[in-house]
Amino acid sequence: MEVNVRKLASALLILSLGAAACGGGGGEGEGDAEEGPIKLGLITSLTGNYAPLGTNDDKGVKLAVDQINQAGGINGRKLEVIVKNDQTSPDQAAIAFNDLLGQEVDAVIGPVFSNSSLAVIPLAERNKMPFVSTSASDQQVQPIRKYAFMTPPLASQVAERHLQHFQAEGMTKIAIAHDTQSAYAVTGYNETKKRVAKYGVELVADETFETTTSDFSSLFTHVRESGAEALLVWVTGAPAVVVTKQFAGADLDMDLVMTGAECSTLYTEPAGKAAEGVLLDCVAGPIGPHLPEGDLKKSVMEMATPFQERHGYYPPQFAFDAYTATRVLAKAIEKAGSTDADDIQAALENLTMVAPSGMFNYRPDKHHGLVLEDVSVVEVKDGEFVPTEWSAQELQKDFG
């Protein structure tokens, strides 16, 4: 049923990125007595372990704000973004949120670090603050929190997509490893374990490590002895590069499979040749050049082209997540005709739009915008993210 909603959204083109910023053009925005700029707060990691991710969140939000303002703002009002650094720390994220409250922001975006986001959500709920997260832990929206939404796919969706790909490739023996200190990685690991039997997959090795682990040789020894056909690693940030380089030097006769946290040049460039052939997942944005022609590809390139012109590189998934969060909030505020928190929340819960990350559809019982089909399994080839043959067929079926 969700797939049909997405196709309807595409067919009607509920929102093209060019139209998202139009102000005062419809009855929804008329009668809004509020004046001055609409203030968005961004909490992200500009320092610390997640700084490479957070700096791209910052760039994605600022590009969206600039585009919206250049097109006239929202219902005649300009957007202003106030950025706070959480230093990749949940405690600092909470402090940043309280600082934004003091500056009377109308909504908050971020953080990119799941642990920080989970620290902020109770504060957003208590203060009735519309909050759109750019991190990927399922716990943010399951169970539903009234004011909390997210733009990346759920970790459970990522897990299921990889298992579907394993099944399509005839793989039945998989090793898994995860970072026990990452909320996203722990969720992804648990969701994978819940689903393996459904796809005829056996977990023949189950390994753990910490964010600070620097030597994975014993882990790889256990995986080698298991007879696994692939190693699925749930990890975020810098440790992913360490895993990849050491995997390449371990001479393991199996596929290395990472997740969307690595769908970025922030992973492929430092990993270098070791990343070649690695499988991982991406939403629409990072694979824009490989998408079938249509509304989704158009929305991706309307973000990717100016981003690349501005910063000199193709945007990573994190930039798409944050850009999309800004566009989602802009559309909700435009639709609400108000910056009242409950009006924005109600508009978010009934929002359907085409965005660079995929076909978004929020509902009162679904505060994650994407569905399973928005996730593709890709292979790193010459530093680019190229859909596998299976995913290319899925993309053509769903978006072609």
User: What pLDDT, on the 0 to 100 scale, is given for residue 400?
Assistant: 78
Tell whether the model's pLDDT for residue 31 goes beyond 80. Answer: no
Residues 6+ apart with CB under 8 A from 185: 178, 179, 234, 235, 236
CATH superfamily of 14-152+288-369: Response regulator (3.40.50.2300)
Length in residues, the chain: 400
Distance of CA 107 to the CA centre of its chain: 18
User: What pLDDT, on the 0 to 100 scale, is given for residue 88?
Assistant: 96
Residue ranges covered by each domain of the chain: 14-152+288-369, 155-282+376-399
Which of 19-33, 276-290, 338-352, 376-390 has the lowest average pLDDT? 19-33
User: What percent of the chain is predicted at pLDDT more than 90?
Assistant: 87
User: What pLDDT, on the 0 to 100 scale, is given for residue 6?
Assistant: 44
Contact 351, 370 (CB under 8 A): no
Tell whether the model's pLDDT for residue 27 goes beyond 70. Answer: no
Tell whether the model's pLDDT for residue 359 goes beyond 80. Answer: yes
Question: pLDDT tier at 34 (50, 70, 90 boundaries)?
Answer: low
pLDDT tens profile 318-347: 999 999 999 999 999 999 999 999 999 999
Contact 256, 379 (CB under 8 A): no
* Residue 218 dihedral angles phi and psi, to the nearest 5°: -70, -35
Determine whether domain 155-282+376-399 maps to CATH 3.10.20.600: no
* Residue 104 dihedral angles phi and psi, to the nearest 5°: 55, 50
Tell whether the model's pLDDT for residue 260 goes beyond 50. Answer: yes
What dihedral angle (degrees, nearest 10) is formed by the CA atoms of 188, 107, 67, 306? -20
Q: Is 305 helix (H, G, I), strand (E, B) or coil?
A: helix
14-152+288-369 and 155-282+376-399 agree in CATH topology: yes
User: What pLDDT, on the 0 to 100 scale, is given for residue 25?
Assistant: 35
User: What pLDDT, on the 0 to 100 scale, is given for residue 237?
Assistant: 84
Tell whether the model's pLDDT for residue 9 goes beyond 70. Answer: no
- How many CA atoms lie less than 13 Å away from 7 in the CB half-sphere? 11
User: What pLDDT, on the 0 to 100 scale, is given for residue 177?
Assistant: 99
Q: From the CB of residue 211, how many other CB atoms can be counted at a distance below 10 Å?
A: 15
Question: pLDDT tier at 26 (50, 70, 90 boundaries)?
Answer: very low
Contact 110, 43 (CB under 8 A): yes
pLDDT tens profile 199-243: 999 999 999 999 999 999 999 999 999 999 999 999 998 899 999
Average pLDDT over residues 133-140: 93
pLDDT tens profile 75-84: 999 999 999 9
User: What pLDDT, on the 0 to 100 scale, is given for residue 19?
Assistant: 40
User: What pLDDT, on the 0 to 100 scale, is given for residue 14?
Assistant: 38
Contact 46, 114 (CB under 8 A): no
Q: Is 150 helix (H, G, I), strand (E, B) or coil?
A: strand
The pLDDT mean for the chain works out to: 91
Average pLDDT over residues 166-194: 96
Which of 21-30, 31-40, 78-87, 263-272 has the lowest average pLDDT? 21-30
How far apart, in whole angstroms, are the C-alpha atoms of residue 6 and residue 3? 5
Sign (positive or negative) of CA dihedral 332, 338, 344, 349: negative
Cα distances from 76 to residues 21, 22, 25, 235, 346, in angstroms, run 10, 8, 9, 43, 21
Burial of 24 (0-12, 13-18, 19+ CB in 10 A): middle
User: What pLDDT, on the 0 to 100 scale, is given for residue 35?
Assistant: 80
Nearest Cα neighbor of 369 from 188, 151, 158 is 151
pLDDT tens profile 90-107: 999 999 999 999 999 999
How far apart, in whole angstroms, are the C-alpha atoms of residue 182 and residue 46? 18
User: What pLDDT, on the 0 to 100 scale, is given for residue 10?
Assistant: 44
Pairing mode of beta strands 131-133, 107-109: parallel
